[in-house]
Structure 1
Amino acid sequence: MIKFEHTIFALPFAFLGAIMGNLVEEGTVPSLMEWIWITLAMVGARSSAMALNRAIDSEIDGRNPRTKTRAIPAKLLKRGEVYLFILISLALLFVSAYQLNALSVKLLPLAVFFLVIYSYTKRFTYLCHIVLGVTIAIAPLGGWVGATGTLSPEAFLLFIGVLFWTAGFDVIYATQDAEYDKTHGLYSIPSSFGIANGLMTARWLHVASFIAFVSLGIVSGMGWIYYLGVFISGAIMVYEHSLVKPHDLSKLDVAFFTMNGVLSVVMFIFSVGDLLI
């Protein structure tokens, strides 16, 4: 039920937020215990978010030919088992936040709100992609706060970059369900405005993401290694869009899973390399 390929989108950015935050704010890398609690918080947040999505959407998933084999509609898991798993995952998130710092605890209700609300937004707004972007972008923001106990303009630029990147690839992913969503009263940009317009919107969201990452480098005083990573990531986004056409979605899985997983790792490696060298 919990897909590793989805987790790899957010985890490198959470670690990047922690490293960048500590180096910007304190000039050091996070301690071993901070690494452990940030990682456990991410495990709790990501696991609860995925499980909540599957539980909340189980009836919708059961009616959609593409998703009817998921764990709950396929009766591989009982609903009670999933809710128990959610409670355990949220408990892990709460304990981890309390072990980090006061600001992590204060912002925890906001994070949990977005973890829960995202799965409902497709029922009433095509801006559900932006809400998912906020939810995933809380990962680097959470890493930053978890390591430093503070927030800064750099943290919000990292947040914005991840937000628009996530929203863009979620619009691409939603193209495969555009017709189903339209006929079943569900909202997405592709179902509301058409697949071609949806893909164009995704392009502009990724342009905004690229600008945010460049701006982060400028504000943070990053060097050429960071910018090389940003431009490689930009090239990955361009390639991702070249794989998906309005009338040919056959390479969508490669564009969604492979390319975005590679991008998050590239941003982490080049950013941390620039910070440490």
Structure 2
Amino acid sequence: MNDTSHMGDRVADAPSGNFVYKVLPRTLWPYAQLARWDRPIGWQLLLWPCLWSAALAGNMPGALEAGYTLGDLVRHCVLFTIGAIAMRGAGCTYNDLVDHKIDAKVARTRSRPLPSGRVSRGQAQIFILLQSLVGLLILLSFNGFAIVLGFASLAFVAIYPFAKRFTDWPQFFLGLAFSWGALMGWATAFGTLSVAPVILYVGAILWTIGYDTIYAHQDKEDDALVGVRSTALLFGDRTKVWLDRLYGAAVLCMLASFVLTGVHVVVYLGLAAAAAHFVFQTRKLDIDNPDECLKLFKSNTVVGALLFAGLLAGAAFRLTA
């Protein structure tokens, strides 16, 4: 067991002043850390593609006639939020179980609940089941097509923690799992898929690869030492060039998705603002400054919010016309 007495019940790479430490009893802190409740950026980034897709469905001409109302959109957004928090927590707990030995060798992660011994593997497995049950109850409230589609995402969720062991592109596998909501929102609205949400999914994957590459630059030295692979190590000094390509392609995919859907004109304002934020990220990035990398990674929730604001405004116009 690693000596983490200097850390107490906190985790080195987690904020110490988060509200969860004020509202939860100390005995539950390790579980909050396993689920990353003290780091909401993860569930936010998982949630945004769900909300984009749900609002994209609301922008489709004829959505109201097809039975998709503004009330449905709001209800789905609430359910997706609860589901994202639960499933992101389950995914992080699963990832920590898989990476238990690796985390013990990395300075930033060795104080996490499993490598520090504050939670046993058995307790972590029970915690996964409880969180997954919440996600399952949310999923079962949707239509049959969306339920099947939701279960299909578990294949990518299962593969991702192992990807860093066999490919330089683990961020791609994260994108496959984390961007699945870009399909789910549309499927929940209409019980089917079309080209537009599929292209949105591709755009979300490219976005995920970009922001997680920034995140991975925090650990590149430790990753190289323990033999873990990442796009941060692969891109190296050409990271900014690659981010311009990834983010640029993501914007083009989103644009194509919006055009195919026939979104309200206000949606393009949100896309333009998101594109401007991508430019800001690549110009501001210093891959050798871990603190700056973390700030820019977290700033991607702004991208998600900008896109959703435009899509939600467009859906409100369509569904109240």
2:138: which partner in 1? 96
Deviation at 1:261, TM superposition (A): 1.2
Q: 1:211 aligns with which of 241, 252, 277?
A: 252
Deviation at 1:5, TM superposition (A): 1.5
The Cα shift of 1:241 comes to 1.6
Of residues 178, 186, 203 in structure 2, which corresponds to 1:136? 178
Superposed CA RMSD: 2.1
Kept in 1: contact 2:180–2:201 (CA 8 A):
yes
Deviation of the 1:133 alpha carbon: 0.9
Partner of 2:70: 29
Instruction: Check conservation: 1:23, 1:29, Cα contact below 8 A.
Output: no
Match of 1:48 in 2: 90
Please tell me whether residue 123 in structure 1 is matched to residue 165 in structure 2.
Answer: yes
Q: What does 1:163-182 correspond to in 2, within 5 Å? A: 163-182=205-224
What displacement does 1:233 show?
Answer: 0.6
What count of residue pairs does the alignment treat as equivalent?
275
Judged with a 3 Å threshold, the aligned counterparts in structure 2 of structure 1 residues 23 and 200 are, in CA distance, closer, same or farther, namely closer
Matched, 1:16 2:52: yes
Aligned positions of 1:233-272 closer than 5 A: 233-257=274-298, 259-272=299-312
Q: Secondary structure of the residue that 1:76 maps to in structure 2?
A: coil
Partner Cα distance (2:78, 2:235) in 1: 44
Q: What displacement does 1:249 show?
A: 4.1
- 3-state SS of 1:64 partner: coil
Richer in helix (by share): 1
Distance 1:184 1:26 in 2: 51
Q: Does the 8 Å CA contact 1:241/1:255 hold for their aligned counterparts?
A: no
Equivalent runs, 1:149-228 vs 2, <5 Å: 149-191=191-233, 193-228=234-269
The answer as to whether partners of 1:18 and 1:30 remain within 8 angstroms in 2 is: no
What displacement does 1:65 show?
0.7
**Compared CA separation, residues 266 and 187, structure 1 to 2 (3 A):** same
Q: 1:10 to 1:246 in 2, by over 3 A?
A: closer
Distance in 1, matches of 2:263 and 2:146, equals 26
Counterpart residue number, 1:4: 40
- The question of whether the paired residues in 2 share the 8 Å contact of 1:164 and 1:206 is answered with yes
Structure 2 contact 286–293 (Cα < 8 Å) conserved: no
1:66 has 2:108 as partner: yes
Tell me which amino acid in the other structure corresponds to 2:257.
L
Q: Mark the CA change 1:143 to 1:76 in structure 2 (over 3 Å): closer, same or farther.
A: farther
- TM-score of the superposed pair, with normalisation by structure 2: 0.79
Instruction: Give the letter for the 1:267 counterpart.
Output: L
Q: 1:205 offset after TM fit, Å? A: 0.9
Q: Would the aligned equivalents of 1:44 and 1:92 in 2 still touch at CA under 8 Å?
A: yes
Equivalents in 2 of 1:33, 1:213: separation in Å? 24
Higher-Rg member (1/2): 2
**Residues 221/26 of structure 1: CA separation in 2 closer, same or farther (3 Å cut):** closer
Q: Which runs of 5+ in 1 are unaligned?
A: none
**What percent identity do the matched residue pairs reach?**
23
